Amino acid sequence: MKICIIGNSLTSLTLAKALVNKEIFVDIFYKNKNINLDKTRTIGISKSNINFFNNNISKINKILWPIKKIKIFSENSGEKELIGFEEPNNHLFSIINNFRLYSQLNSELNKIKYYKAKKDVPFKKLINLDYDLIINCDPNHSITKKFFSKKFEKKYDSYAFTTIVEHKNLVLNNTAIQIFTKKGPMAFLPISKNKTSIVYSMRTQDDEPNLDINKLINKFNSNFEIKKINRISKFELKSFSLRNYYKSNILAFGDLLHKLHPLAGQGFNMSLRDIKKLLDVIDKRIELGLALDQSVCIEFQNKTKTGNFVFSEGIDFIYEYFNSENKIKNNLIDTSIKYIGKNKYINDYFKKIADEGLQV
């Protein structure tokens, strides 16, 4: 069995490592071998996905920073917490630096005989090579433009600003904070005792120079004494869901399937759940002695597409719900969202969805 993965993104390497661990030969085709990863970017990984990652992909506990509490505020609520989630004896999720995770996976893959990294080749040559499956994770590849351009897309007219703030040591820097400001949601995500990742999603009409972003970080920070705000990165925000996941034995994957607003930190978690389901499909076919062919793509789409779309729409609904307070100029959030926090069953349900995804 031999599988080709197009692109050398974080998702590509994660999927490749999961496959070679099963002694499946994997070739990754790349345009640039050394991709320029933004060192200010971090991702949150849910508890169940951490267990899956450790057991099936790579041991990552040493580079994780566990989060035990989540507190949500709005600019109108001031210091009054709207809703909170907590796991005092465990953790809700963990934060990891993209660059550190990528480096670990890349280093491990290069030591495994089932893995090869190759320079990209033209599309016509690629499809004639002897691969059971071709998995495309590259949004800029010609295969994407040819087969995977139709999608349900939404632009938020917003940009995400990301940075890492260095501050004085905190004994327990394990609480993630989300503040729904008038300009958009700002998340404080601890990554060590003295560093916190910031993701600030700001609407286009409020787009301001980095100096003003710094001022806003200082304005909404009430948790630590800032020593340094590192370089701020910026990228456009949009969400989409792909209409069709495959063409013949070519399967779209990762951010090609679904892209979410970052407020809930679920993008990479969705990809990990997709990897788990794809592995289940592949394992079943291997046990039955069947080939890895187009039927893998068909079954994977049947198992994931509806759930992924509903989950994506749910994240968009949360964004629009919190954003509605600024549009209608009242305290809609303050008067309604607190009910969720007080209701244990609803609170636990939201924690379960954030951890395991939506089961459809």
Within a domain: residue 183?
no
In a domain, 223, yes or no: no
**pTM of the predicted structure, to 2 decimals:** 0.89
Report the distance separating Cα 215 and Cα 226, nearest Å.
12
202 belongs to a structural domain: no
Which pLDDT tens digits describe the chain residue by residue (360 residues)? 899 999 999 999 999 999 999 999 999 999 887 777 778 889 999 999 999 999 999 999 999 999 999 998 888 777 788 888 887 777 889 999 999 999 999 999 999 999 999 999 888 888 888 899 999 999 989 899 899 999 988 888 888 899 999 999 988 899 999 988 888 889 999 999 999 999 998 876 555 555 588 999 999 998 899 999 999 988 888 888 999 999 999 999 999 999 888 776 788 999 999 999 999 999 999 999 999 999 999 999 999 999 988 888 888 887 777 666 555 555 655 566 665 556 666 666 666 766 676 655
Strands 184-190 and 175-181: antiparallel
Which residues span the domain enclosing 348? 2-154+238-356
Is 137:15 a contact under the CB 8 Å cutoff?
Answer: yes
Domain of residue 90, CATH code: 3.50.50.60
Q: Is residue 219 part of a domain?
A: no
Question: Which single residue is written with the structure tokens 């459809």?
Answer: 360
How many residues comprise the chain?
360
Distances (CA, A) of 354 to 197, 208, 225, 350: 20, 32, 30, 6
Give the pLDDT confidence score for residue 337 in this predicted structure. 61
Number of domains in the chain: 1
97 within some domain: yes
The CA angle 297-303-309, to the nearest 5 degrees, is: 105
Start-end of H helices in the chain:
10-20, 47-56, 98-109, 123-126, 142-147, 210-220, 267-287, 294-328, 332-342, 344-356
- For residue 230, being part of any structural domain is answered with no
Query: Per the domain annotation, does 310 fall within a domain?
Result: yes
| pLDDT of res. 84 | 81
Is there a domain that residue 350 lies in? yes
pLDDT number for residue 242: 93
- Grouping H, G, I as helix, E, B as strand and the rest as coil, residue 242 is strand
